[in-house]
Structure 1
Amino acid sequence: MNSISTSTASPGDRVLGALQTLGRSLMLPIAVLPAAALLLRLGQTDMLGQFHWHFINWEIHLDWIGKAGDAIFSNLPLIFAIGIAIGLSGGEGTAALAAVVGFLVFTAVFNNIIPQIKAADGTLKPDPNITMDVLSGILMGLVAAGLYKKYHDIRLPDYLGFFGGRRFVPIITALTALVLGLIFGIIWPPIGQVINAIGSGIVSLGPFGAGIYGFLNRLLIPTGLHHVLNSYFWFELGSYKGADGTVVHGDLHRYFAGDPSSGNYMAGFFVMMMFGLPAACLAMIRHAKFPKVAAGILLSAAIASFLTGITEPIEFAFLFVAPLLFVVHALLTGTALAVCYLLNIKIGFGFSAGLIDLLLNFNKSNTSNPWLLILVGLVYAVIYYFVFSFFITRFNLATPGRGEDSTGMAADWILPESQRGPAKRTKESPAVDTAATAEEDKDTVLAREVLDALGGKANIESLEGCITRLRIFAKDPDAIDEARLKSLGSSGVIKKGKIVQVVMGTQSDRIASRINSLRKQDTIDV
């Protein structure tokens, strides 16, 4: 048994861990976007918004559907503040309330400090070109979560006892937001100019800039930091003043506001997600020694990628066993964005670049060359198939279904547990005591085994779940039994110092919740 180190993590590990946690927490507010985009799109005049009818003395227009979606987009900074505060505080409602209070205070102060311009009616109003937009929500979400962790159990003098504990968090957040609003109101105008200059620099690179973004977007997936990168391109890059005078930022936000110059940094993802990766799945199945095993997971993953743009089940299927293919995939993604940019293909998505978003936005007024997008996609399907086939066969890469020698597991290790054959157990991963776990449900049994494979509760400083992976801050990463984790369904383990990610598929968030419950239960029992 490995001993557990008590040494503290390096500053680099702490920073990377914080960024990964931020990336995970960004997924909660981003998950709201599909609903917002769907409502906004359906309510526009070329769709349901064109219909209206009279009922007695009422004239009913269906454009109210679009206004419902616009309400979400218009309040994205507040939604980000709430979502990040919840994500970083472990789901605490007090942190969410503090984020709302802090955001409102920060925004009011900020808008009064920044330069003012004279409106048409002669009154002074904040300069609409100076805004932090989603960044203000991210900032206040971070502040609220941090203050919650620090002060949620604070004890005040008896005469102030009512305001102690959780009640103190919104109060201290409001005061902090007051100061931050003043500070950022002064320093943000020049900072904003620098950020705008960076954005202009990226735009000036044309297809090369789009290609770099596409390459980095895929390359950062193992770390989870692609969410942080996306937040800038989707919600901050560029600006557009709509017909109502509202200024919006970001390629995604501008696209749904009708900006004809937007969509350059989203169109190429349709090529990769709808055509490229499904063709890669076909190549992996075609060259598998056990094609039924490979097809069992890759076909459903390919359909998910084609329809919804969810790609991680495919990417994690070859990321760990054939990392060379992942680099090739990132390069192909970058070229897809560059090609679409060169061909003036512009289209956006609310959730991800799948068929659903393509059909929804195919005829949108500021979508350009959508049929050409399909043609490019078909060409990339051929490229992905032959490039993946070449690398798999030339370098004998260990893609799914190519045998147990590459994984140390049975050939069906990548299948869902219900579809696998008898599990292979080693001395390090003994069979489960069914009598001891008879009263526990299946998820709790799995969580207990995963916890044991992670080195036990004593080896975990913190653990959280994401869409497809567990993120662990481990005291001793060497104490983690990777072989046993694979036997339990993990498709890979990423270690960076004391930060460890274990890919457990879409059940990860549920497993994390069970593991943390077990950690608390064990602590109570002790």
Structure 2
Amino acid sequence: MSSVTRSSTSTGDRILGALQSVGRSLMLPIAVLPAAALLLRLGQADLLGSIHWGVIHLDWIAKAGDAIFSNLPLIFAIGIAIGLSGGEGSAALAAVVGFLVFTAVFNNIIPQVKAADGTLSPDPNISMGVLSGILIGIVSASLYKKFHDLRLPDYLGFFGGRRFVPIVTAFVALLLGLIFGIIWPPINSGINAFGTGIVSLGAVGAGIYGFLNRLLIPTGLHHVLNSYFWFQLGSFKGPDGTIVHGDLNRYFAGDTSAGYYMAGFFPMMMFGLPAACIAMIRHAKYPKVAAGILVSAAVASLVTGITEPIEFAFLFVAPLLFVVHAILTGTALAVCYLLQIKIGFGFSAGLIDFLINFNKSNTTNPWLLLLVGVVYGVIYYFVFSFFIVRFNLGTPGRGEESTGLAPDWILPESQRKPVARKDATSVATEEPEDKETTLAREVLSALGGKENIESLEGCITRLRIFVNQSDKIDEPRLKSLGASGVIKKGKIVQVVMGTQSDRIASRINRLRKEDNIGV
């Protein structure tokens, strides 16, 4: 009985871990969206697109941005393959080959429609969109891990190892293209029905999405949720006749009904969370310490829409506040929906995207959005103040008594006061290590050493680890090294180390490959 339970738990952990890895890998292709959105917007007729320099018409800038949006599925395939394979170029090449093969077969198998001239073409209403790129990215990365070290007989030796990966990916993609060409049309109908159901809920549907979007941040699965709403929900035939899907894609293609599932994030990111920072500073026992932590995070949220530095500042020490934050985000999306506010973003709902898209033809009520933002700023300030004081929550600058953390616990180690470590690990080397390598070595030791780690990846603000034994992890020591929280679910562990996480992860993985690591 216990072995069955242990097996099912392990399977569940691996499934969740795989989903989190996919969610992390989605960040790489999503990172190209700001460039695409900026180019597409600048090239519009109401900005640079109307300028002529002799025979040169600057609407080509919009064409450059549109080229990225038009090829998002391929970009997703490449980005995910790179992310899941640890940055291997052969996996990326395999993803390109696999995507081209898959798309060609898929478009040939799905129902065809007859044009006016009698020619047949794939039904444009049946599309996998970025899901096809996600599928091929996962497949190519998996095949890379399985076959990148394959040894073939000598007479076929040239095609072994990494060179074999694109070859096998092509044949697997051919088979997948055939399978999905058959099964996808009814699935596509089901997805469209789900989308129609969400849209029919109106403000309630937008509110549910906003609530879940924030609530899933600790697991990293909000990226998976966003992929549907931003890149699959709904369809719109653009001016050039191309059918696009997703609230984000439709908005930049000019759909006047798009933007509902993005607008509500602006009040939260530009006004709400910065106001929450003011509340946390106002009620801190050490206001200067709290300000040092939160002011830069508030500016980042306001200007760029990057919210994780703020959210992780209170997520672990005051989870009640995080639930309140998720509820407020849901209400912000619902309110903006009810007020018919529509605006989109290429990266996130910060001031940069707001200014770029303020005058876009299908943006509605942007001035009203500012008013809603001010109201939410006031709400966030007073709601956070109430919960912090009423429940004596351990937010930055006031949590050292309830959490055992120093007042400056969330700052990078280089910015904090020295912390005495009784069991700090050091290894003699000919040349002094840089600070981040030393930190990575100590984090590795606190994780139980290299023998306790099956896999480790870095994300924007956290390390994602699959461990052998979670009870070997030294949480107090990780927090003394700068971790603002440790999330454990079975063998899946996330350690929030802030924006230095990706650099720490790369150094840990390098250390894991060395034979002389002291653990």
1:159 to 136, 147, 155: 155
Pairwise CA distance, 1:133 = 1.0
Residue of structure 1 in register with 2:102 after alignment: 106
Which residue matches 1:13? 13
- Structure 1 distance, partners of 2:248, 2:516, is 45
1:189-239 CA-partner distances (Å, limit 9, x unpaired): 111000000000000000000000000000000000000000000000000
Q: Matches of 1:133 and 1:345 in 2, distance apart?
A: 26
> Counterpart of 1:237 in 2: which secondary structure?
coil
Which of 35, 56, 61 is equivalent to 1:60?
A: 56
Q: 1:238 to 1:523 in 2, by over 3 A?
A: farther
Question: Cα offset for 1:523?
Answer: 7.0
Partners of 2:424 and 2:100 lie apart in 1 by 55
SS of the residue 1:45 aligns to:
coil
* Matching residue of 1:132: 128
The aligned residue for residue 502 of structure 1 is: 495
Give how far 1:432 is off: 5.9
Alignment of 1:289-328 (within 5 A): 289-328=285-324
Instruction: Report how far residue 8 of structure 1 moved.
Output: 9.8
Partner residue in 2 for 1:3: none
Please report how far the alpha carbon of residue 418 of structure 1 lies from its aligned counterpart in structure 2 after TM superposition. Answer: 3.1
Does residue 232 (structure 1) correspond to residue 228 (structure 2)? The answer is: yes
Name the counterpart of 1:27: 27
In 2: Cα distance, 1:142 partner to 1:448 partner: 30
Equivalence map 1:444-483=2 (5 Å): 444-483=437-476
The residue matched to 2:78 in structure 1 has which SS?
helix
What per-residue deviation string (whole Å, max 9, x for no partner) do you get for residues 75-105 of structure 1? 0000000000000001010100000000000
Q: 1:524 to 1:398 in 2, by over 3 A?
A: closer
Q: Provide the aligned C-alpha RMSD in A.
A: 1.7
Match of 1:345 among 341, 344, 369: 341
Q: Tell me which amino acid in the other structure corresponds to 1:51.
A: I
Alignment of 1:45 with 2:38, yes or no, is no
Query: Would you say 1:275 and 2:275 are equivalent positions?
Result: no
Q: CA deviation at 1:153?
A: 1.1
User: Per the alignment, in what secondary structure is the counterpart of residue 398 of structure 2?
Assistant: coil
Q: Which runs of 5+ in 1 are unaligned?
A: 1-5
Q: 1: CA distance between counterparts of 2:387 and 2:420?
A: 30
Q: Displacement of 1:166 after TM fit?
A: 1.0
CA contact (8 A) 2:461 2:500 kept: yes
What are the superposed Cα offsets for residues 41-97 of structure 1, whole Å, 9 maximum, x if unpaired? 00011100010121xxxx110011110000000000000000000000010101000
Opposite residue 435 of structure 2, the aligned amino acid is K
Alignment of 1:252-267 (within 5 A): 252-267=248-263
Aligned counterparts of 2:425 and 2:468: Cα–Cα separation in 1: 26
Corresponding residue of 1:186: 182
Change (3 A) 1:370 1:432: same
In 1, the alpha carbon distance for the partners of 2:347 and 2:11 equals 34
Report the Cα offset of residue 158 of structure 1: 2.2
1:7–1:475 CA contact under 8 A, matched in 2? no
2:382 is the counterpart of 1:389: no
How much identity, in percent, do the aligned residues show? 82
Q: Is the 8 A contact 2:394 2:400 kept in 1?
A: no
Distance verdict in 2 for CA 1:337–1:486, change over 3 Å: same
Cα deviation for residue 163 of structure 1 reads 1.1
**Within 5 Å, which residues of 2 pair with 1:364-375?**
364-375=360-371
The 5 Å alignment of 1:377-526 reads 377-425=373-421, 427=422, 430-431=423-424, 433=426, 439-522=432-515
Aligned to 2:3: none
> Separation in 2 of the partners of 1:148 and 1:474?
22
**Superposed CA offset, 1:298-327 (max 9, x none):** 010000000000000000000000000000
Alpha-carbon distance in structure 2 between the residues aligned to 1:132 and 1:403: 48
Alpha-carbon distance between aligned partners in 2 of 1:404 and 1:341, rounded to the nearest angstrom: 41
Contact persistence 1:290–1:403 (CA under 8 A): no
Map 1:171-250 to 2 at 5 A.
171-250=167-246
The answer to whether the Cα contact below 8 Å between 2:458 and 2:506 also exists between their aligned partners in 1 is yes
| Contact 2:235–2:246 (CA under 8 A) maintained in structure 1 | yes
Q: Is the 8 A contact 2:426 2:518 kept in 1?
A: no
Q: Which amino acid in structure 1 is aligned with residue 136 of structure 2?
A: M
Distance apart, 1:403 and its partner CA: 4.1
Moved more, 152-161 or 436-445: 436-445
Question: Is the Cα–Cα contact under 8 Å of residues 274 and 355 in structure 1 kept in the other structure?
Answer: yes
CA shift digits 1:346-375 (9 cap, x unpaired):
000000000000000000000000000000
Shift of 1:422: 2.8
TM-score, normalisation: structure 1 = 0.95
Q: Structure 2: which 5+ runs fail to align?
A: 1-5
Which residue does the alignment assign to 1:148?
A: 144
Q: TM-score, normalised by structure 2?
A: 0.97
**In structure 1, what residue type is equivalent to 2:400?**
E
C-alpha displacement of 1:421: 2.0
Q: Measured at CA, do residues 187 and 434 of structure 1 come closer, stay the same or move farther in structure 2, by a change above 3 Å? A: closer
- Matched with 1:331 is 327
Gap change, CA 1:435 and 1:458, over 3 Å in 2: closer
Cα pair 2:511 2:517 within 8 Å, conserved: no
Partner secondary structure for residue 10 of structure 1: helix
CA distance in 1, matches of 2:124, 2:131: 15
CA distance in 2 between partners of 1:414 and 1:169 (Å): 42
Look up the equivalent residue of 2:506 and give its one-letter code: S
Cα pair 1:410 1:424 within 8 Å, conserved: no
Post-superposition offset of 1:415: 2.4
1:9–1:498 CA contact under 8 A, matched in 2 = no
C-alpha displacement at 1:436, in angstroms?
5.9
The corresponding residue for 1:359 is 355
Check the 8 A contact 2:147/2:164 in 1, yes or no.
Answer: yes
Compare 326-335 and 155-164 and name the one that shifted more: 155-164
Cα distance 1:439–1:524, how it changes in 2: closer, same or farther (>3 A)?
A: closer
Measured after TM superposition, the shift of residue 417 of structure 1 is 2.5
Q: CA deviation at 1:478?
A: 1.1
For the residue of structure 1 that corresponds to 2:187, the secondary structure is helix
1:7 Cα deviation from its structure 2 partner: 8.8
User: Does structure 1 residue 119 correspond to structure 2 residue 119?
Assistant: no
Residue 466 of structure 2 aligns to a residue whose secondary structure is: strand
Kindly provide the amino acid, as one letter, of the partner of residue 495 in structure 2.
V
Q: Take 2:161 and 2:431, find their aligned partners in 1: how far apart are those partners?
A: 40
**400-409 or 378-387, which deviates more:** 400-409
What amino acid maps onto 1:510 in structure 2? R
